[in-house]
Amino acid sequence: MTIAVERPQGGRLVDQFEYGLDAPICLTWELTYACNLACVHCLSSSGRRDPRELSTDECKALIDEFERMQVFYVNVGGGEPTVRPDFWELLDYAVAHHVGVKFSTNGFRITPERAERLAATDYVDVQISLDGATSEVNDAVRGQGTYDAALRAMANLQAAGMKDFKLSVVCTRHNIGQLDEFKAIADTYGAQLRLTRLRPSGRGADVWDELHPLPHQQRELYDWLVANGDQVLTGDSFFHLSAYGPADGSGALPGLNLCGAGRVVCLVDPVGDVYACPFAIHDQFLAGNLREDGGFDTIWKTAPLFLDLRSPQTGGACTQCSAYDSCRGGCMAAKFFTGLPLDGPDPECVKGNSETALAGDRERPGSSQDHSHTGTVRNAPVPLTLLRTRPVSACDESPLVSQQ
């Protein structure tokens, strides 16, 4: 269905957002699929550069379009965005065109010189990724030496006088117990802590079963977030946890507490594909391509997928639940990549309503793109758990099985 739905006047802001905006508020732009690392949970299955990657001129034209649409800032990621030779040129171009940039990096290339330059540039924010408060926990997920690289980058930023940059953590089963330590690390470097949810997207789908926080850890996380309030950013990641609060929604975490996909959020990938959200890089959530479908403004305003996401959703079985007003059924991408119905509960539903569906037969959609490294990666992570994927057959574990 692609008919425009009439928007109600007035009312709560969150209801207005469900009908979409003239331009996104939170736009993620993955600049490249190239990455010097091979994190086990990479949302975008990054590693190798795609030869169809947008050129420097195409990137600048997109920034011009953001300026015209008054997209005030973009979240730049990858891959590792600093791997692009024109990264710093694009950063300067965006800032000069009133498009602020917050970029995510593993920190390897944040040298003292780069840190100085970043500290001297307005409208730029940096987000350093770290997924363990100790090298043991972090490097198992992100790769050897990545803990040291992240801390070195933070030290460089601090020495350069950069304030309130972000320390960004994906919450896993192995680091939920380290939240206070993460906060302490952030405080040490004058950074702000940002916690986000582990999504079963990209390579994350392969490790989600082993890494996603256990139910009691979700509760621990929620209580910690409530206790730390506005001090900690979450990028609206954990709105599914708001269901721990009372049914009147008063236990909601700071933020919008709604799925913003295609309504206030979207993703532009390195080859110009526009997806509904950064956690939904899959053909099913592809709204169009910048080169083929008339540019970003046209796609944002007229793509059938986006119009559909902005029309009232049914909520399915979840609407019967007392917590529906708090969690709104949770994350669309998390349901999709775990093979759950989109109008049912989130795979991490705190009421336990997805347990039966998760235990039953479900077909995971897999990924529609994969830029993972195929050869050896210098820093390749060695997961704490032995297998990244379940063996498909006994043969995968023992080459002799067919001989027996």
For other proteins, the binding residues (CB under 8 A) are 7, 10, 13, 16, 19, 21-23, 25, 70, 72-73, 98, 100, 122-123, 125
Smallest separation, CB 122 to other proteins (Å): 8
Q: Which two tokens stand for residue 71?
A: 């997209």
Which of residues 7 and 52 has its CB atom nearest to other proteins in the complex?
7
Q: What angle do CA 155, 156, 162 make, to 5 degrees?
A: 95
Smallest separation, CB 2 to other proteins (Å): 18
Question: Residue 238: what residue type?
Answer: F
3-state secondary structure of 115: helix
Strands 273-275, 286-289: parallel, antiparallel or unpaired by DSSP? antiparallel
Residue 370, Cβ density class (10 Å: 0-12 exposed, 13-18 middle, ≥19 buried):
middle
Smallest separation, CB 4 to other proteins (Å): 11
Cis preceding linkage at 295, omega within 30: no
Residue with tokens 């692609």: 2
Which of residues 213 and 260 has its CB atom nearest to other proteins in the complex?
260
The 10 Å Cβ neighbour count of residue 316 is 13
Q: How far apart are CA 171 and CA 361, in angstroms?
A: 27
Q: How far apart are CA 172 and CA 194, in angstroms?
A: 14
* Cβ pair 106, 37 in contact under 8 A: yes
Q: How far apart are CA 78 and CA 223, in angstroms?
A: 31
